[in-house]
Amino acid sequence: MDLAQKSDEEILAVIGPIMDNLMEASTAIDYERHTRDFTERAKSVLSKSALESICKQYQSTKGFFAKREFVAVFRRPGSVAVV
């Protein structure tokens, strides 16, 4: 699927559930769930212990994820970045 050719709404329909999962899995500190949509390359740079450490640190200083707000989609050839 070439997301760069999709509308903002179509992109959000794809990434919304992925972001929901990432936020919920981070809150639960659930590595398997957090990385379920990662490529093998992405998984190779985030170990289970690293995720646990990162999550515990941000939860103790910043709390837990709450509401998020869509800002923009940046399109590149063959990929998108959503803020």
- pLDDT in the model for residue 77: 86
Report if pTM > 0.75.
Answer: yes
41 token code pair? 């390359």
Tell me: the pLDDT tens digits for 27-58?
A: 999 999 999 999 999 999 999 999 999 999 99
Could you tell me which residues are beta bridge partners of residue 79?
76
How many angstroms separate the CA atoms of 47 and 68, rounded? 26
Q: What is the per-residue burial (b if ≥16 Cβ within 10 Å, else e) of 22-40?
A: beebbeebbbeebbeeeee
**What is the DSSP secondary structure assignment for residue 62, as one 8-state letter?**
H
- pLDDT in the model for residue 61: 96
How many angstroms separate the CA atoms of 39 and 30, rounded? 17
Tell me: the pLDDT tens digits for 12-34?
A: 999 999 999 999 999 999 999 99
